[in-house]
Amino acid sequence: MQATLRSSISFTGTGLHTGRPVRVTVHPAAAHFGIWFRRSDVTDRDNLISARFDLVPESQLCTRLMNTDGVEVSTVEHLMAALAGTGVHNAVVELDGPEVPILDGSAAPFVRGILSRGLQRQGAPIHAIEVLKPVTATVGAASATLSPAPGLTMRFTIDFADRAIGRQTRFADLANGRFVRELCDSRTFCRQSDVDQMRAKGLALGGTYDNAVVVEGDHVLTPGGFRHADEAVRHKMLDALGDLALAGAPLLAHFEAERGGHMLTNRLLRALFQTPGATRMVECTPEQAARLPGVGVKSADLAHVA
């Protein structure tokens, strides 16, 4: 069955790129509503933005949504991953600024807040997007593919010159709370040289060692280092789940990426829905529903989260 939160939950923090303080509140919503963002600070235009892949302008540093009135909300990927990874199908995300707060750089604070409220089953069946044939997108040396699978599985490979990260590959079947246990606490990461370049362009103004793992060459500059030896690729998988959630419904598919990122995942979704016969919407059987991210998540799963 579809699910929403039992009651609203709020988070306060700073936008990673704007450096501005922001409060975001996730409210329950009716069955079949989906996920929508509402900018409470915008009163002169339409302030509602649907969480849909076709409302994403191209961006490499984060995932940004924009409605037809030009109202935007950025850095939505960690919250979207938390909603998908805990099995929330319907919600209104209200915020008083242009960017979702970065918090600790992972999805764990969002997951913890959502599960603290609990989920309300809504008596409506879950509909999912079944991928029927492989579709691939490429950006330079990076590539990503969605292909048929009975649930949502993911294999991700990254390859960085910095030896602190290097080449990492990880596979995950995202059923049965695996996102919460293994991926949600993995933080965003970057190189110190990238931080310097971004700040020269007026970006990453809210970035600190408290909300990102910063590396340079062989060295991890963030105190305490990585939470996991392969935290970098785990975070890329977290981002991918959040970006794939913009399909508008859970995916029954295998996602595979080599050097992927936000822009590539969005291009992949666009290619998927532009390819005749590549998808169909299905009402999930109990067996299919049991394989979706979020199904089977328990409070005890948070014991494994930093």
45 within 8 A of 70, measured Cβ to Cβ: yes
Give strand ranges (E) for the chain.
3-5, 9-14, 21-28, 35-39, 48-50, 64-66, 72-74, 91-95, 119-121, 127-131, 135-139, 142-148, 152-159, 167-173, 189-191, 213-216, 219-220, 251-258, 279-283
**Cα separation, 105 vs 213, whole angstroms:** 8
Instruction: Please indicate whether residue 304 is annotated as part of the active site.
Output: no
**Which residues have a Cβ under 8 Å from the Cβ of 300 and sit 6 or more positions away?**
none
What is the distance of C-alpha 123 from the center of its chain?
26
**Cβ-proximal residues to 32 (8 Å cutoff; 6+ apart), any chain:** 2, 90, 124
Interatomic CA distance for residues 63 and 58, integer angstroms: 8
Residue pair 9/26 in contact by the 8 Å Cβ criterion: yes
CA angle 2, 128, 169 (to 5 degrees): 110
Give the integer Cα–Cα distance in Å for 115 and 150: 26
Q: For residue 7, what are the contacts with CB-CB under 8 A and spacing of at least 6?
A: 28, 117
Cα–Cα dist 289/250, whole Å: 10
- Active-site option among 17, 78, 254, 262: 262
Residue 176 CA, chain-centre distance (Å), reads 18
- Residue of 300, 243, 301, 297 whose CA lies nearest to 272: 243
Query: What residues are labeled active site?
Result: 262
